[in-house]
Amino acid sequence: LFAAIDLAPRDPILGLNEAFAADKRDTKVNLGVGVYYDDAGKIPLLAAVREAEKLRFEQAAARGYLPIEGIAAYDAAVGKLLFGAESPIVTEGRLVTAQALGGTGALKIGADFLKRYFPASKVLISNPSWENHRALFESAGFEVGTYAYYVSPTDGANVAGMLADLKAAAPQTIVVLHACCHNPTGVDLTADDWKQVVEVVKERNLIAFLDIAYQGFGDGIDADAVAVRLFADAGISFLVSSSFSKSFSLYGERVGALTVVDGSKDESARVLSQLKRVIRTNYSNPPTHGGTVVASVLNTPELRKLWEDELAGMRDRIKTMRAGLAEGLGEKFAFVTRQRGMFSYTGLSAAQVERLKEEFGIYAVSSGRICVAALNSKNLGYVVDAIGKVVA
Ligand code: LMR
């Protein structure tokens, strides 16, 4: 039956974990996948999460099915985190949030929902983008193209090219935008750039789909929401996929959300009814643990404060690693400190990345993306030396 099936290639990002695990060298370093490690090289279990888990354990709550759209307190907290508690979108109920299986799950529900109502639309993703964006929207049945985004490590974003490509897009083209901490480049737009993007999206009647998987890893929770909030101020409908994988260090719990911003409370009710159909046929309803923990942290002032402090600690540590990398590698790599979030697009070629792996056991994505959040005070010098050698 399956004799003619081809072997699929390894996933360009998660596949690196498999290769890394099989590597016997004890000097190996995994700069592939976007995961935050602490200075001891461990994935942290946040104290705020531990506290919320303790409470949950003490309550010994039953594990019934959740509503299809997830936990109400979780969904409400997501909307407030994205737009701010006072946002008219929140107070007037012009949004629907559905708990989803991580940011990827949110993108998938959003893609399936959009395919149902805008079957002829094309999707544009940034050039370059997260490897899974293209695969995900193609698998939902869309044709996927790109808009200009990035020039080079030193020159950063190509705002003029991006605006020109968006202006040339047909109405109702779906435009996938990285709201902050662009993956893979680490190159973000300024608030003024975003204002222009919002203007074009509105003028051209495009469908913006903002992906925000790293809120809090750039400059802060509110600062990183600037793009989302500018879209909110524009009074248009759009979608947001968000994730707590990184900000709560809850990768394996798959805690994310899809939020659809629309025109009225009544529209929200209809959108929600359709999202529920999409979710029901994908995975029925989301799991309980991660959503309960995140809702408890976000909705309990002391835990919220603890989490915000821990998130700031992660953000600051990444910045320290960026500074160390730039210092170690010299002027040519000064751009690393201007990039935001977990990643740096280093400008390393696929051949140089291969050499890093073969000679040094340092794993990076073949595009030259490295996860700065996997550097620490012990491996930084080794990585600096190795990069120095492959670029020499
Ligand atoms: C990444 O880009 O490394 C992360 O978003 C993890 C993933 O799912 O690819």
Give the span between the Cα atoms of 178 and 175, in whole angstroms.
10
| Terminal C-alpha separation, the chain | 51
Last residue of a domain, one of 274, 300, 326: 300
Q: How many domains are contained in the chain?
A: 2
Ligand 1 contacts CB of residue 183 (under 6 A): yes
The residue annotated as part of the active site, out of 211, 224, 262, 307, is 211
For residue 359, give its domain range: 14-45+303-391
Rounded CA gap, 317 and 325, in Å? 12
Return the ligand 1 atom nearest residue 371 CA: 3
Cα 54–287–103 angle (5° rounding)?
105
Tokens 């394996």 correspond to what residue?
Answer: 252
307 classed as catalytic: no
Q: How far away, in angstroms, is 184 Cα from ligand 1 center?
A: 9
Residue 1 lies in a domain: no
* C-alpha 198: how far from chain center: 20
pLDDT in tens, 303-319: 999 999 999 999 999 99
User: To 5 degrees, how large is the angle CA 133–CA 252–CA 365?
Assistant: 45
Quote the pLDDT of residue 348. 96
Indicate whether residue 362 lines ligand 1 (CB < 6 A). no
Ligand 1 pocket check for 130: Cβ under 6 Å:
yes
Query: Do the Cβ atoms of 177 and 125 come closer than 8 Å?
Result: no
Do 89 and 217 lie in one domain? The reply is yes
| 22 and 155 together in one domain | no
Give the pTM: 0.96
Residue 124 lies in a domain: yes
Smallest CA-to-CA distance from 368 within 353, 387, 384 is with: 353
Would 5 be classed as within a structural domain?
no
Q: 332 and 242, same structural domain?
A: no
Both 88 and 148 in one domain: the answer is yes
| CA–CA–CA angle 19, 20, 25 (5° rounding) | 120
Q: Are residues 67 and 35 in the same domain?
A: no
DSSP 283-304: TSS--SHHHHHHHHHHHSHHHH
Over residues 122-140, the pLDDT tens digits come to: 999 999 999 999 999 999 9
- Tell me the C-alpha to C-alpha distance, in Å, between residue 299 and each of 77, 92, 113, 256: 7, 20, 29, 16
Q: Are residues 313 and 249 in the same domain?
A: no
Indicate if 101 and 199 belong to the same structural domain: yes
Task: Specify whether 360 is located in the same domain as 223.
Answer: no
Residue 78 backbone dihedrals phi, psi, to 5 degrees? -60, -45
Residue 3 domain-assigned? no
Kindly name the residue from 75, 130, 165, 194 that is annotated as catalytic: 130
pLDDT in tens, 210-246: 999 999 999 999 999 999 999 999 999 999 999 999 9
Whole-number pLDDT of residue 64: 95
For a pocket test of ligand 1, which of 10, 11, 13, 371 has the largest count of ligand atoms closer than 8 A to its C-beta? 13
Is residue 6 situated within a structural domain? Answer: no
**Maximum distance among all Cα pairs of the chain, rounded to whole angstroms:** 61
**175 CA from centroid of ligand 1 (Å):** 20
For the complex shown, is ipTM > 0.85? yes
Q: Which of 246, 262, 307, 357 is catalytic?
A: 246
CA of 32 to the centre of ligand 1 (A): 9
Q: State the average pLDDT for the chain.
A: 97
Please tell me if the CB atom of residue 364 comes closer than 6 angstroms to any atom of ligand 1: no
β partners of residue 49:
none
CA dist 34 and 346 (Å) reads 15
In angstroms, rounded to a whole number, what is the distance separating the alpha carbons of residues 332 and 341?
20
In a domain, 8, yes or no: no
126 close to ligand 1 (CB < 6 Angstrom): no
Q: Domain with 20 in it: what CATH number?
A: 3.90.1150.10
Same domain, 264 and 360: no
